[in-house]
Chain A
Amino acid sequence: MSEPTVQTLPAAGNRSHVAALFGQLGPLVGLLFVWLLFALLMGHDFVKWDNQRLMLLQTAVVGTAAIGATLIIISGGIDLSVGSTIALGTVVVALLLNAGLSPLLAALGGIGAGMMCGAAVGAIVIGYIGRVAAMIVAALTVLWLWEAIGPVLAVLAAAAAFGAVLAFSELVVKQVPIAPFIVTLGMWGALRGTAKGLGNNQPVYPEGVTWLNELMTNSAGGLGSVLAPGVWILIVLAVVMAGVLRYTRFGRHIFAIGSNEQTARLCGIQVERTKLFIYIIGIGCAGMAALLQFAYLSMGDPTTAEGYELRVIAAVVIGGASLAGGEGSIRGTMVGALIMTVVDNGCTKLGLENWVQEIVTGAIIVVAVALDRLRHRRAATAIRREAREE
């Protein structure tokens, strides 16, 4: 047999070639379409550079979180706790600043809070609810007893509590994997509650102004005058994660697990460990988004980012990911997030009321997925036609 050619879609005629090209660009065409639509309706007011910059800024928080969600969704999981994680993150950053930490450490603390949430979610998803519970009990024990009986005794008590819970859970439940939908639905409530508890049901205002407050504004000179630092963070994170997904073992393992977890296990991929990392990194991105949200608000707000989880999932899905796993891309997600921003921004500028925006966004989600399914079918038929002619 002759050497097979390397093409995603071999070009039989011009038609399938065009279909293939359209297929690859899919969501991008949609973005151009809505952008041009608003440009025609409003002209300069929408097209001007300041507005483009504003839209990118408006995309930064959801976009950053959506990068993480893309990893999770490709692996066949889901994260419903994004909004709560962001709220918790903003409160943690504010509290750390007020505790006298440097802005850098506070920022790392915010991201770290996200990663810890991710570790908890990941551990419960793969079945270690007992271990997570033991750690939480131990931490709470230390906090409660620290003042009352002193550090040493508190730590000893915590160790005892940890051991007791762990032993109990190992004996009774052992490993019980739980669907990510359920785990993160629980986290959606629990993390929001934690944020409110930490902030005493109040927004937490940082005492001084630091560079953290300027992440979402344009500075006078340098790169920061072109785009706000927060937008740069989004861009860099997107490029890095796209590379990770495409060109690393970890990235290919995410696709393999999402496409068929059993095959992944058969092929020696350490499914549990990989999933844990996916959630740590994925929800860590929500921690990063929290940092940007903090900069945007200039405070830690336990009630912020309500409903962001659905905007984030919408961005990923508009971008062509499948909730069944195995499919999706950072590029698509970014386009999906931008489509939603453009619609919001354009509708606001047109003076349309909020409810109109909500209907339009809702319709776009469904239409985008329908188009994506159609595109898949087209691509499949193109290949079949090809194969038949062979």
Chain B
Amino acid sequence: MIGTSKENEPVSLRMEGVRKHFGATVALDGVDLKVRSGEIHALIGENGAGKSTLMKVLTGAHQPDDGCMWLDGEPYWPRSPADGRSAGVAMIYQELSLAQHLSVAENIMLGLEPTRGPFVKWGEIRRLAAGALGQVGRPDIPLDIPVSRLSVAEQQLVEVARSVAIGCRVLVLDEPTSSLAKKDIRKLFELVRRLKAEGLAIVYISHVLEEVHEISDTFTVLRDGLSVGEGVTATTGVHDIITMMVGRELDELYPRSHRVAGEVVLEVDGLDGLGLPASASLVLRRGEVLGIAGLVGSGRTELLRAIFGLDPVVRGEVKVAHFTGPASPSRRWAQGAGMVSEDRNREGLAINLSLADNLTMPRLKGLGPYGLVTPSGQARASRPWIDRIPIKCLSPMQPLSDLSGGNQQKVAIARLLYADVDVLLLDEPTRGIDVGSKAQIYKLIDELTAGGGIGDPTGGAGGPIGETSDPAGERPPKAVLIISSYLPELLGMCDRVAVMCRGRLGEARSVDEIDERQIMLEATGSGEAA
């Protein structure tokens, strides 16, 4: 069956039943992908759906556990990225991989330097590099300057030229527009179409569906490591693609209990940071979820960090509960505020320490006799949260690196519940995790703000410093501030949404009075007209 089909179809690249797991995480659970030459194929899926893993399998950076691949009808089984490159598969990563100190020509020919004996043939390098630049339509880029002097868009071009220089047949572009300005995106699209016309098979990874619609011919949707749909882009609606990506109707995903806004627990007035944000003000009450929308780089993260004391406050007031003024993160925890970082690996979690170590980190108190911290005390304090959230793990003492991204993120959130804070500052709390974990986190946030639903399951270890905590059971609802780039999530979860644009925070409005279009208008700075 497979034998016949691969001969009859002009398919350049074909992947079938690809499986790959890391530790307990199943990243790919049987994925199929077909890309013809002279075609732009979009690979769509949420963060964590398995797009990057699939492409790493394709380029040879990861070895699959199971599955088959063919390139132009030949079995293809790369052992390393070098293997993949020599077979004609090249990938342009989101983070460009250029040697910043080397010249444009050297970068293009890196690893392919023509030599005579031990000597590099410089003339040849320049000639071939110039040819490759010509092929990508930018012969004007100088060959001899260090790539660090080029703009990001030009650097990306140098990477494409490098792929052309190795004579690649399959080119993978991973979120290529994420760091580009609008006019550079236009130019990139022109280039991609040009390469397509030359007969390359192009895999285009993106979660910006508008882009996908514009550039791609066909698509495959991944969800939780499975290919859940494929088709021709022109005949498929955006709504259908979203439904495939998410795998369920949206209102199931975002529960919304009856919430009653209580007293003010966080008040920010005219907050200036270093650069961003500029004069931001907001009010957050108990029993309320406030969302902050805005483009990446608009100052959303900086606002949260300034509130939490991680970045300096230059001017303005922050009031947490009845405490006024700027404070260090350690004071903020004591005042009853906690934060989840947007960058789980670099900042949010100590990946090599145990789950219990991570969960109890903000408050190593009451975990053993005489104020000592015992491992059994840490495990005992963690276990109720592991069951309650729930977090899938073998033991509280398991290193966090063994957990899946979704479960790691749940630990980062459980940390705030363990410390029993009233104000939860969540920066992209669902970035890069599977839909199942997302749903659990949404449900948790809803229960926390509805009040009474979630008590302190440790029954006594809770309460901000200096306060005796209630027994398990009824608790006042908490206040949640969420930053997210994913608008359906914000509109689904929040009571009010404020939009940030170039460091300025707009008025928070009820989700009933605002929609995705309006948010995008305001986020891009064209909101006043509407």
Contacts and interface: CB of A to CB of B under 8 A. Distances in A.
B374 interface: yes
Query: How extensive is the interface on chain B, given as a class?
Result: 35 or more
B310 interface: yes
A390 B23 CA distance: 12
A30 to B, nearest CB: 23
B395 A6 contact: yes
Contact of B373 (A1, A8, A247): A247
A132 B358 CA distance: 34
B23 A262 contact: no
Given A6-B397, A268-B330, A388-B24, A326 B350 contact: yes
A357 B346 CA distance: 42
Interface string A377-390: 00010011011101
Nearest to A255: B353
A4 B393 contact: yes
A388 B331 CA distance: 42
B146 interface: no
A326 B373 contact: no
Interface string B360-374: 011011001001111
Interface in B274-331: 310, 328-331
Contact of A260 (B24, B332, B334, B347): B347
Given A383-B394, A383-B402, A388-B24, A256 B376 contact: no
A3 B347 CA distance: 30
A270 interface: yes
Contacts of A388: 21, 24
A53 B200 CA distance: 74
B24 A255 contact: no
A7 interface: yes
Given A267-B361, A269-B361, A7 B23 contact: no
Interface stretch (B166-174, B191-199, B383-391): B383-391
A5 interface: yes
A252 B373 contact: yes
Chief secondary structure at chain A's binding surface:
helix
Which of A249, A266, A387: most chain B CB closer than 10 A? A266
B333 interface: yes
A77 to B, nearest CB: 16
A267 B415 contact: yes
Interface in B8-44: 21, 23-24
B368 A384 contact: no
A268 B347 contact: no
B469 interface: no
A4 B415 CA distance: 18
A256 B386 contact: no
Interface string A17-56: 0000000000000000000000000000000000000000
Interface in A248-303: 248-249, 251-253, 255-256, 259-260, 262-270
Query: How extensive is the interface on chain A, given as a class?
Result: 35 or more
B348 A249 contact: no
Contacts of A265: 310, 329
A259 B352 CA distance: 7
Contacts of A260: 346-347, 349-353
A388 B333 CA distance: 37
Contacts of B398: 383
Nearest to B353: A259
Nearest to A247: B372
Nearest to B401: A380
Contacts of B352: 259-260, 326-327
A230 to B, nearest CB: 29
B396 interface: yes
A123 B36 CA distance: 62
Nearest to A244: B372
A380 B390 CA distance: 23
Contacts of B368: 247
A387 B339 CA distance: 30
Contacts of A246: 375
Given A6-B395, A259-B352, A260-B350, A267 B329 contact: yes
A189 interface: no
A307 interface: no
A264 B386 CA distance: 21
A249 B373 contact: yes
22 contacts: A4-B383, A4-B393, A7-B394, A247-B368, A247-B372, A249-B373, A251-B373, A256-B353, A256-B361, A259-B353, A260-B347, A262-B347, A263-B350, A263-B358, A266-B347, A268-B329, A268-B331, A326-B350, A326-B353, A383-B399, A387-B23, A388-B24
Interface of A: 1, 3-8, 10, 246-249, 251-253, 255-256, 259-260, 262-270, 326-327, 380, 383-384, 386-388, 390
Interface of B: 21, 23-24, 310, 328-334, 339, 341, 346-353, 357-358, 361-362, 364-365, 368, 371-376, 379, 383, 386-387, 390, 392-399, 401-402, 415
Given A380-B402, A387-B24, 19 more contacts: A6-B397, A8-B397, A10-B394, A246-B375, A249-B364, A251-B373, A252-B357, A256-B350, A260-B346, A260-B350, A267-B362, A268-B328, A268-B330, A268-B331, A326-B352, A326-B353, A383-B398, A384-B23, A384-B24
